[in-house]
Amino acid sequence: MDAIGYRRLITKARFAFARSQRWRIATILLIVLCTFSNDSSGQRRRSRARPPAPKTSIDYSKFFHTTSEHRQTCDACHKGPTENWKKVRGFPDLADYPDHEACVGCHRTQFFRGARPEICTVCHTKVSPRDDERFLFRKRDAERQFSIEFPHDKHQDVIALFRRWERAETGLLQRVSLVLPPSDKQKSYNNCTICHSTMEKVPKVPVSGWVDNFVPTADTFKSSPLGHEACFNCHWKAQEPINSDCAGCHKLATKPFLVNAAPERISVKFRHQREQHIAECTTCHIQITKAASLRGLKPDVPITSCTECHNKDGLRLDVTNELEALDKNRNFACTYCHTSDKGRLDAPASHYLIAGREPVKRKDLK
């Protein structure tokens, strides 16, 4: 290689190096930005925003299913039924943490490090070689890592059928009454109440606080299943997904999320248990029985299911009145059905439609 060729090579390498440095700086900036914006967006499904920690400072007190070495078949760690099932459940279930065996193979270092190995606190309340006391499984206030796959469409008829069996076969009756909340026993609209009962406690205050300081009552919300009792009476050894096919029902969520927080709502002021709101569930949830999955189910309840009572001449004109208030003041927040986070946005076309008007944008108003 001659001198010029050599110099050219060096220059090229320097350029490549400078470019890679720029990339590195850009990447770091991006990560910082993402972390920051994740923290400040007070969403319900808050990300845990883990900073890119150097190898030495791994937090061994929190277990993530997303860590690549943890992405194994579920029963590599969760061996069911767990020994404690009789004490905790009426049926053979996973009611405890995985055993030590599931971890020591890879985490010998963490298990035997120092007097108080951090990793023990994933499962144990105290770190002690003698104490086996564990947290409640699952931890009630911790973020969830899995969401549920429940195709409502496939279950419409089977569940109706199942409730007829309920009267014929006592074994099944016991299982159904296990999940049927006492308060909803008399009426079980379209069998939805087997799985969705009225909430009994006000959900925890969201991290960012209640919008407008509006605290909804507990009976605003319907709950969703918390465990296998809603599924395993059918999905046991024969009906797919069978009880050992965990991934048939559990999908790794894109971000860990809190369940004890208030359900994500568009109309948070709508209260299910208001006398006039109690009706067959599918009169409002018109999409659900056709829903093959829960993804993209928006809006599940269209405003047309409110029109008959809330926007009718001679009765109430809640939507029309708010649209008129908006005409007069483009900063008007609609707070009859919404809190101001939604009520300050442009009203969707559906709202103008039921008021019999052409849609307008706030920015086009005087």
3-state secondary structure of 198: strand
3-state secondary structure of 255: strand
Tell me how far, at minimum, the Cβ of 47 lies from ligand HEC, in Å: 14
Give the residue with the Cβ less far from ligand HEC, 16 or 158.
158
- Answer whether 122's CB lies under 8 Å from 82's CB: no
Residue among 216, 230, 257, 339 that touches ligand HEC (CB under 6 A): 230
- The yes or no reply on residue 241 touching ligand HEC (CB under 6 A) is yes
Tell me how far, at minimum, the Cβ of 43 lies from ligand HEC, in Å: 12
Give the residue with the Cβ less far from ligand HEC, 80 or 206.
80
Q: How far is 356 from 349, CA to CA, in rounded Å?
A: 10
Tell me how far, at minimum, the Cβ of 28 lies from ligand HEC, in Å: 21
Residue among 218, 261, 301, 360 that touches ligand HEC (CB under 6 A): 301
Residue among 35, 38, 43, 74 that touches ligand HEC (CB under 6 A): 74
Beta strands in 59-170 (DSSP E): 144-148
Q: How far is 348 from 308, CA to CA, in rounded Å?
A: 18
Give me the torsion for CA of 292, 297, 299, 300, rounded to 10°. 40
- The yes or no reply on residue 176 touching ligand HEC (CB under 6 A) is no
Tell me how far, at minimum, the Cβ of 340 lies from ligand HEC, in Å: 10
Residue among 92, 181, 272, 359 that touches ligand HEC (CB under 6 A): 272
Q: Which amino acid, residue 254?
A: T
- Exposure string for 255-283, b = 16+ CB within 10 A, e = fewer: ebbbbebbeebebbebbbeeeeeeeebee
Q: How far is 278 from 272, CA to CA, in rounded Å?
A: 6
Q: Residues 129 to 158: which contact ligand HEC by CB under 6 A? A: 129-130, 132, 138-139, 142, 144-152, 154-155, 158
- The yes or no reply on residue 247 touching ligand HEC (CB under 6 A) is yes
Choose among 191, 180, 188: nearest CA to 156: 191
3-state secondary structure of 120: helix
Give the residue with the Cβ less far from ligand HEC, 12 or 71.
71
Tell me how far, at minimum, the Cβ of 366 lies from ligand HEC, in Å: 16
3-state secondary structure of 254: strand
Binding piece for ligand HEC, criterion CB under 6 A, among 1-9, 11-19, 25-33, 336-344:
336-344
Residue among 46, 203, 216, 222 that touches ligand HEC (CB under 6 A): 222
Q: Residues 190 to 219: which contact ligand HEC by CB under 6 A? A: 190-196
- The yes or no reply on residue 327 touching ligand HEC (CB under 6 A) is no
| Cis preceding-peptide flag for 256 (omega within 30 of 0) | no
